[in-house]
């Protein structure tokens, strides 16, 4: 955990968040600036700075994030589909340097992001 990281501080309970899901590996909470009716951030409980830092020592957290995404999507009523977004690094538009997945849905999204 990193004392200067906002998501580590949310996981530790030092900063409030609207919790949606939690297990041993993952914490999920609502984005403070939602871009869709459902906008949940799915965050590993280990400080991994970005997708560029994933390797065989920590990839279990990625798997657990995606297990959580499927559960949360069902709980949020997203049976008709959703989008998962990861921004990585400066060129990828990442603003919080703690790996996270945006789970976005509840509306028909545009067909392409790239």
* Residue ranges in contact with Zn ion by CB under 5 A: 2, 5, 7-8, 47, 98
Whether 47 sits among the annotated catalytic residues: the reply is no
What residues make contact with ligand AMP under the rule CB under 6 A?
6, 15, 17, 29, 31-33, 41, 87, 93-96
Run of H or E including 79: none
87 binding partner (options Zn ion, ligand AMP, none; Cβ < 5 to 8 Å by kind): ligand AMP
Pick between residue 49 and residue 109 the one whose CB is nearest to Zn ion.
49
Residue where the block lists tokens 């968040």 = 17
How far apart CA 25 and CA 63 sit, in angstroms, is: 10
Pick between residue 56 and residue 91 the one whose CB is nearest to ligand AMP.
91
Q: Which of 47, 98, 100, 102 is catalytic?
A: 100
Q: For residue 114, what are the β-bridge partners?
A: none
Q: Report yes or no: 12 and 3 within 8 Å, Cβ to Cβ.
A: no
How far apart CA 31 and CA 72 sit, in angstroms, is: 14
């Amino acid at each position: 955990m990193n004392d200067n990281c906002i998501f580590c501080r949310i996981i530790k309970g030092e900063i409030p968040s609207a919790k949606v899901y939690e297990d041993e590996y993952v914490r999920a909470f609502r984005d403070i600036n939602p871009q869709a009716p459902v906008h949940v951030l799915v965050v590993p409980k280990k400080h991994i700075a970005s997708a560029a830092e994933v390797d065989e020592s920590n990839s279990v957290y990625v798997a657990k994030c995606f297990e959580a995404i499927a559960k949360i999507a069902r709980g949020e009523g997203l049976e008709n589909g959703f989008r998962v977004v990861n921004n990585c690094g400066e060129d990828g538009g990442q603003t919080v340097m703690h790996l996270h997945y945006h789970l976005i849905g509840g509306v028909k999204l545009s067909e392409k992001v790239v």
